[in-house]
Structure 1
Amino acid sequence: MLVLLKSSRFYLAVGLTLVCSLLGSFLAGFPYLQVIGALVLALVLGMVLQVYQPVINRARTGIGFISNKFLRLGIILLGFKLNLVDLAQAGVKTILLAICVVSGTLFLTYNLARKLGVEQNLALLAASGTGICGAAAVMGISPQLPVSVEQEEQKREDEVLAVAIVAILGTVFTLIELGLKPLLHMTPQQFGVVTGGSLHEIAHAVAAGSAGGPVSLDTAIITKLSRVLLLAPAALLIGIWYQRKNHVGFTAGQSHLPIPWFMGGFILASIVGTFLPLGATILAALVKLAYLFLGMAMAALGMSVNFRVILQRGGKAFLAAGISSCILLAFVIVVSKWFF
């Protein structure tokens, strides 16, 4: 690692991914791109940079490091966005809804994808992104799915494909929910519950929730963050299930728990951000830093994808996630009408 940090190839990779991340954040400030989100834009920019293949090849080693380590650092810092007191004040109903949405969508999307013939890893990543919190969930769950060295390239393709699926579906369903808003006759709180409970990325929930006013936006964010909070336990449970099902991670006749330590950092960051007097300015800066690192990781991922394979393998996973997204939206609309 020390040799890598001193390498010019590493700094080239840092420069390329940093530019993509910053440009993605800048572009996400425009009205029509805001719904897509900075992380997905950084991924797309990384994919565009593949036209300069000789440069990408020079930075290849550093790109792999960034897509792995910077990802974990970004997710840890994202914990500062979670205010546990606000989540607790949202009430038992919001937390129960989040548990139902995450567990139900994971189960439904995964099983639909498998029935359609989608490979196990891709099915799990698409289900995680659909059920929890989009790109961050895909990248947070992926380290819990160990593969052989020969399968590493396919795993990166699965990650990009799953991110693309939730980005496209999240954008489509954001527009659908904005179109349905006048027809649903909901209170601002109910509409916030719908957007936060059904949309894929935080950016999607913010874009749609803001259409209902300040109360709707606040409710959307809290409902969405209650799903984000479940990323850590979901990663642990999925890791345990995956390793036992596939008989990986066993030593001396015993299995070791696939504890996602960086998720522990995510929870610790949320505790620190909630209970220590850091101040709104510092917390906002830490969250921006989180998205900077996550954007760099997404750009690095985009630089290493195989477009041809993704196009060949994406259809069935997209169909499964699309069907479950429709069912999720219908479920959350009913629940918001009855209980909120």
Structure 2
Amino acid sequence: MMSLRLYHEHLLPPTRLAGHYLPGLLLTAAIALVAVSIGALPAVASLGLGALTLAILAGIVLGNSITPAWHRHCDHGVQFAKQRLLRLGIILYGFRLTFQQIGDVGATGVVIDVLMLASTFLLACWLGRRVFGLDRDTAMLIGAGSSICGAAAVLATAPVLRADAGKAAVAVATVVLFGTAAIFIYPALFALNAHYHWLAFSEKSFGIFTGSTLHEVAQVVAAGHAVGPEAENAAVISKMIRVMLLAPFLLLLSAWLQRRAPRARGAANAPIVFPWFALAFIAVAGLNSFHLLPPRLIATLDTLDTWLLAMAMAALGLTTHSGALRRAGLRPLLLALVLFLWLIAGGALVNLGIHRLLG
């Protein structure tokens, strides 16, 4: 049904196609306008509420209050903002970074990301089956979403497992719930740690911690932005490394399924979705490292990037529906909660330990 719908969309004339996406794009742009305007107020900024955080909050409120008719008219544009504009925003974010900054994250960030991915996914598989009594596919999908890159990892892993759409929806719901909560929890943890000096986190190392443990790319950007520019840059770089681990993860999972059971052979041959936007992000950062573009153009691109990311955050909020979380049930939510606690507590220990060994 989905492919048939997309096929018919491509047959629409340009004016109809624009009208298809325009209502949702206008809605996300309006939310972004309000969020950027309010986020620029000194009183609001002092609370750590940036434009991206405000955009996702407003989106959640509207997404759970507007009528179904609004959803029907705006859905295509909202999904476009959530997927395409987010990726374009991440690519343009590369103009805020240089290879020197990426090199500063370096081997430390890669080792941390690999350890967090492996430990979180394996923990999900064990707890999901042995403790919470979930089926293999649901446990693996929740583990993939928590350990790699949220909903994108769930949707990329589902065809490899040949999982039902309902199980993928449950996994996405858990990722959205705890990842959205983390947008507000992580900056609060940073502020508390800065006050009480519990752990040896600088703004940069806390950014690496954020990128290596938070679910979605959008959530990482919002949480890092709320902490500070150095944290945001390190968080995005760390997250991009983690996102690029999706392809080898899917290849390893396919090989494991093929060895475990012949019936999984068809699943192992499912196409692997590689996150090309992560490579484009690195290419743009590389271009920016040579300082070839005039500063005024870079400033314009940064402003455009903020708007694109704010629209993507608004779209993410608009598609966070309370009904999906209710339908998920208690056991998947409990598994996702335990993984969330591991990502925070275990992630902090892994980050500090690797920084001490390799830093």
Aligned twin of 1:323: 342
Amino acid in the other structure paired with 1:167: T
In 2, are the aligned partners of 1:169 and 1:322 still within 8 Å (CA)?
Answer: no
C-alpha displacement at 1:271, in angstroms?
Answer: 2.1
Quote the offset at 1:234 in angstroms. 1.6
Aligned: 1:121 with 2:141: yes
Quote the residue 2:5 is aligned against: none
- Are residues 1:145 and 2:157 paired? yes
Aligned to 2:192: 179
In structure 1, C-alpha distance between the alignment counterparts of 2:90 and 2:11, rounded to whole Å: 23
CA shift, 1:284, in A, is 3.7
SS of alignment partner, residue 74 of structure 1: helix
Shift of residue 338, structure 1, vs aligned partner: 6.5
Selected match of 1:333 from 335, 352, 356? 352
Please give the residue correspondences for 1:1-340 in structure 2 after superposition, counting only pairs within 5 Å.
1=10, 3=12, 6-7=15-16, 8-29=19-40, 30-31=44-45, 34=48, 38-50=51-63, 51-53=65-67, 54-88=69-103, 90=104, 94-114=105-125, 115-116=127-128, 117=134, 119-128=139-148, 137-138=149-150, 141=153, 144-145=156-157, 147=159, 155=168, 158-159=171-172, 161-184=174-197, 191-199=202-210, 200=214, 201-205=220-224, 207-208=226-227, 218=230, 220-221=231-232, 223-244=234-255, 257-311=272-326, 312=329, 313-336=332-355, 340=359
Contact 2:209 2:348 in 1 (8 A): yes
**Offset of 1:97 from its aligned partner?**
1.9
Could you list the per-position Cα deviations for residues 97-127 of structure 1 after superposition, in whole angstroms to 9, with x for gaps in the alignment? 2112211112222233331345322321222
Q: Is the CA contact (8 Å cut-off) linking 1:13 and 1:63 kept in structure 2?
A: yes
Aligned partners of 1:157 and 1:310 also within 8 Å:
yes
Kept in 1, the 8 Å contact 2:182–2:223? The answer is: no
TM-score scaled by structure 2? 0.71
Tell me: CA distance 1:150–1:48, structure 2 relative to 1, closer, same or farther (3 Å).
Answer: farther
Given that 1:193 and 1:336 are in contact with CA atoms closer than 8 Å, whether structure 2 keeps it comes out as no
Change (3 A) 1:184 1:310: same
Name whichever of 300-309 and 106-115 sits farther off: 300-309
Secondary structure of the residue that 1:230 maps to in structure 2?
A: helix
**Preserved contact between residue 78 and residue 287 of structure 1 (Cα < 8 Å):** yes
Pairwise CA distance, 1:15: 0.7
Contact map agreement 1:10 1:62 (CA 8 A) in 2: yes
Classify 1:186/1:63 alpha carbon distance in 2 versus 1 (closer, same or farther; 3 Å): closer
Shift of 1:230: 0.7
Q: Residue 133 of structure 1 aligns with which residue?
A: none
Distance 2:198 2:171 in 1: 39
- The separation in 2 between residues aligned to 1:322 and 1:186, in whole angstroms, is 17
Q: Deviations over 1:158-177 (max 9, x none)?
A: 44542441332353243233
The letter for the 2-side match of 1:295 is A
Asked if the contact 2:183–2:223 (Cα under 8 Å) also holds between the matched residues in 1, the reply is yes
- Kept in 2, the 8 Å contact 1:49–1:303? The answer is yes
Query: Any gaps of 5 or more consecutive residues in structure 1?
Result: 129-136, 211-216
Aligned length: 316
Q: Match of 1:214?
A: none
Using the alignment, how far apart are the partners of 2:299 and 2:165 within structure 1? 35
Segments of structure 2 that go 5 or more residues without pairing to the other structure are: 1-9, 129-133, 215-219
